[in-house]
Structure 1
Amino acid sequence: MRILIIGAGKVGSSVAGNLVSESNDITIVDTNKAKIAEIQSNYDLQGIVGDATSPSVLADAGAVDADMIIAVTANDETNLAVTLIAEQLFNVPSRIARVRNDELREYPALLSTSGFRATSVIWPEEAITNYIVQLITYPEALQVIEFSDGDVVLMSVKIVSSSKMCGRPVSALQDELPRVKVQIVSIYRQKYRLDDIDGKTVLEAGDEIFFLTTKACAHAVVKTFRVKTRRSDRVMIVGGGSLGLQLAKALDQVETVSGDAYNVKIIESDLSRCQFLSQNLSSSVLVLHGDMTDESLFVDEGIANTDLFVAVSNDDEDNIMSCLLAKKLGAHRAITLINRTDYIDLVEGTSIDIAFSPTEATLSDLLRHIRQGDVLSAHTLRRGGAEVMEIVAHGSAKNSKVIGRTVDKIAMPQGTAIGCILRTVSGVQEVFMANEVPEVLDGDQVIVFMGNKRQISEVEKLFAPSVGFF
């Protein structure tokens, strides 16, 4: 597939890195010559220096033959202008724009195929907010991804030494939870993925486990790896920018596991921004004016009783320092947003529980629109090192390599694994974990785990029916 990427920033370069390894023909455009040179030194792709709102620049980049254009610059106006030009002048079939101005949500026609001609719009703050809210809902998880409108979840947790499953084989999980549908799809030990997991694989303290289960049973499964979970009812947010505002709004609109309202506080150093936050948040959210590394402010506002501390300012150093301070003063759990990926590696091993890149959350949303075939969703894991995909199986036993076969008889590429199958029967969705050895039928939604993003194209080809099905 010929893909044209506009913007060689963090998101653009991450998208290029993910797609170039999948045998796509990638061209990336940016006004910054140094960024283009850097990305060309890292990946085998074409780079064009120029303003993508210029038709001649898009023409030089090959827009006339492009199957897809992805506009992910830091400027909403540029992104939307690009999608309009791509459709009007070059008839590019798929046009994706990243948009950060939340006000534009009120004018859907403006962004649609009747306005700026975008076929898909990515809202980065929404993607990041959803990412954090899931971590709040499941407080012991490192990553949470929902499938099929939330009926099935993929979670990752680290095993603690005192848990029920530590030192026991994978097969013992069914003994602990005989009535629960659960499937371990991957295990990472000391940063390396274990190959050929089976029922005899023994789990060790510190292992990072990726498992699929139903939403209703998720908390029960987590308890077998983590002993005791603590609710995240009391949340303190530092950084009252667009992301902090959206997160506070999201928590104000949902209930805790016990059905109570979240106790939310948000700290912002700019007084005028505090006034804006107060006007745009309900009275149940407490807006505080102060420095995000002010120890006395943290103590006065009950940091020792805070279940979750979340740092989402635009300054990586402030985010890291505020989280370290919060943990020192007694906050149970700390999550920080970090833009520089090399900082994330530095944070590992500190008291900060989770450090994540906004690019990773946005990338998962983008990949959902980019993947070929009947891909319902696609998500990056472990900072792009792995991926999980929800794909629809089509065809028959005659023209498909998966239809009519049980999961243990499907020749999956090395390093990939089917986690579960979702099937709608008489309007009711049924879930079949891979350990139940279900047969794949036409129309099934199959969740596939891939330990290497280079395997994505192989999985897509495996699930594609042979020519003649249509």
Structure 2
Amino acid sequence: MKIIIAGAGAVGTHLAKLLAGEKQDIILMDEDEDRLGKLGNNFDLMTVNISPTSISGLKEAGTANADLFIAVTPNESQNMTACMLAAGLGAKKTVARIDNYEYLLPKYQEFFAKRGVHSLIYPEMLAAKDIVDAVKMSWIRQWWEFAGGALVLIGTKMRETAEILNIPLYELGGQNIPFHIVAIKRGNETIIPRGDDSILLNDIVYFTTTKKYIPYIRKIAGKENYADVRNVMIMGGSRIAVRTVQYMPEYMRTKIIESDYARCNRLTELVDDKVMIINGDGRDLDLLTEEGIKNTEAFVALTGSAETNILACLAAKRMGVSKTVAQVENVDYISMAESMDIGCVINKKFIAASHIYQMMLDADVSNVKCLTFANADVAEFTVKAGARITRSQVKDAGLPKGATIGGLIRNGEGILVTGNTTIQENDHVVVFCLNMMIKKLEKFFN
């Protein structure tokens, strides 16, 4: 597959690195030569120093033969124009990064498609949805729903109160246990566990289960004393913050702390009257105390500085907040945030890359999620008629090392998978895999 990525910024560079490892024909273009130079020579891709809106430049890059053209520059208008030109020159499919939520409305989908913009991606909106999922439950690090919630993935950190520490997995229960442990993140290592593996203190454990068994997972993880989230404090009135409060459940009360007075005035126009806007510095401990940090269950740091966000979350933790979320766009800081026990990290690059990566898959994949801490991914495949995965029980399917099936949805019902399970046509299968292996798994489900 020939893929052209326009824009060597954070999203474009991260995506190019990921796709280069898949043995695809990748071309990364940018009009800023310095950005391209930062990639070095360690990746199997071609860089071209041209403007993505130059017709001659697009022709030179071979856009006419492109299977996928992705425009992710910081400029929305440039992305839209580049996609229109690329489609006109022969690119089969185009994706544009946008900043305007209105463009995503269903009534405009055909309008843009006719003009050559086939798909739109709004990273801030995707990040906001992940933040809301993260704060719904104070004891969970990561939470994702599949098939409307028929099956859920839960990531939570093991503390001293966990009931399942130091017990081999084969001893935790037989075939009828209501969960499947799909992965364990231990230090810098991600483990696809086997029966003789054990869960250790400070592991982040990823479970798949159905909603009715979430209280049971909470009990065995020793998290029953964690307060339910009712009050949320957000530091930084960014576009992500605006989207986040719009997706918050009705029962949550939210405050936004923003240091820029003009932005505070603008926020009062953008968000609901129920959201309190506070002009001040979210790092000011006296201000946080005055605004009720002691009675706040979740603190979300969304400034443009990763360092500020991490430190603010640490301060909130020390002041008794049980759930913190930090926006960390510098990938190098993610492992540091984990070592400092920041509850949840949001990274727009990973989120956007997961959604774009999904578009290049041949299989019917309705969901691809990146596990930020675990350097791994979760994908939801729809099984085609006669697919290889249906010809034997799961234990004999020959899935590659580093991949495991976490569960499936059949006729709308979530089902946990064992080695003796036989997967059927039209099942929605949730697969956990390491290091962007999803492309290698397509052949099992097609």
- The alignment's TM-score, normalised by the length of structure 2, stands at 0.93
Q: Which letter does structure 1 place at the counterpart of 2:78?
A: T
Q: Deviations over 1:101-129 (max 9, x none)?
A: 23434684277444542211111111101
Residue in 2 that maps onto 1:415: 402
Equivalent residues in 2 for 1:348-387, closer than 5 Å: 348-350=338-340, 352-382=342-372, 385-387=375-377
Partner of 2:13 in structure 1? 13
Letter aligned with residue 443 of structure 2: K
Name the aligned partner's letter for residue 269 of structure 2. Answer: Q
Structure 2: how far apart are the matches of 1:31 and 1:48? 8
Deviation, 1:173, is 4.4
Asked whether 1:435 is paired with 2:418, we answer yes
Aligned mates of 1:196, 1:327 — CA distance in 2: 31
CA shift for structure 1 position 76? 0.5
Structure 1 unaligned residues grouped into runs of 5+: 256-260, 465-470
The partner residue of 1:217 within 204, 207, 213 is 213
Deviation at 1:194, TM superposition (A): 3.1
The match for 2:83 is 83
Match of 2:240 in 1: 243
- The alignment partner of 2:283 has SS state of coil
Correspondence for 1:184: 181
Q: Which deviations, in whole Å up to 9, do the C-alpha atoms of 1:199-232 show, x marking residues without a partner?
A: x432221222112111333343133113323211
Q: How many aligned positions are there?
A: 445
Q: Which amino acid aligns with 2:439?
A: S
Q: 1:350 to 1:415 in 2, by over 3 A?
A: closer
Which amino acid is 2:185 matched to?
A: Y
Equivalent AA in structure 2 for residue 270 of structure 1? D
Query: Which secondary structure does the structure 1 equivalent of 2:418 belong to?
Result: helix
* One-letter amino acid matched to 1:445: H
Specify the alignment match of 2:433 in structure 1.
450
Percent of aligned pairs with the same amino acid = 28
Does 1:141 pair with 2:131?
no
1:39-438 alignment, distance < 5 Å: 39-88=39-88, 90-105=89-104, 108-109=107-108, 112-114=111-113, 116-174=115-173, 181-194=178-191, 197-198=194-195, 200-228=196-224, 229-251=226-248, 254-255=249-250, 261-350=251-340, 352-382=342-372, 385-396=375-386, 400-424=387-411, 429-435=412-418, 437-438=420-421
1:212 to 1:107, Cα distance in 2 relative to 1, 3 A:
closer
Larger RCO (CA under 8 A, 6+ residues apart): 2
Change (3 A) 1:195 1:375: closer
**Are the structure 2 counterparts of residues 113 and 302 from structure 1 closer, same or farther at C-alpha, using a change threshold of 3 Å?**
closer
TM-aligned CA deviation for residue 351 of structure 1: 5.1
Question: Is the partner of 1:167 in helix, strand or coil?
Answer: coil
Cα offset for 1:32?
1.3
Q: What is the deviation of 1:5?
A: 0.6
SS of residue paired to 2:166? coil
Contact 2:3-2:25 within 8 A present in 1 as well: yes
Please name the residue that 1:4 is paired with.
Answer: 4
CA deviation profile, 1:167-193 (whole Å, cap 9, x unmatched):
223245447x95x63211112223223
Quote the residue 1:31 is aligned against. 31
Distance in 2 (alpha carbons) for counterparts of 1:356 and 1:231: 21
Query: Do the aligned partners of 1:416 and 1:451 also contact (CA within 8 Å) in 2?
Result: yes
**Under a length normalisation based on structure 1, what TM-score does the superposition of the two structures give?**
0.89
CA distance in 1, matches of 2:258, 2:135: 21
Distance across 1 between alignment mates of 2:272 and 2:192 = 50
**C-alpha distance in 1, partners of 2:190/2:2?**
32
Distance 1:189 1:422 in 2: 29
Distance 2:12 2:368 in 1: 17
- State whether residues 182 and 192 of structure 2, in contact with CA within 8 Å, keep that contact through their aligned partners in structure 1: no
- Give the Cα–Cα distance (whole angstroms) in 2 for the partners of residues 435 and 43 of structure 1: 38
Letter in 1 for 2:18: N
- 2 CA distance for matches of 1:218 and 1:306? 23
Counterpart of 2:3, as a letter, is I
Aligned to 1:467: none
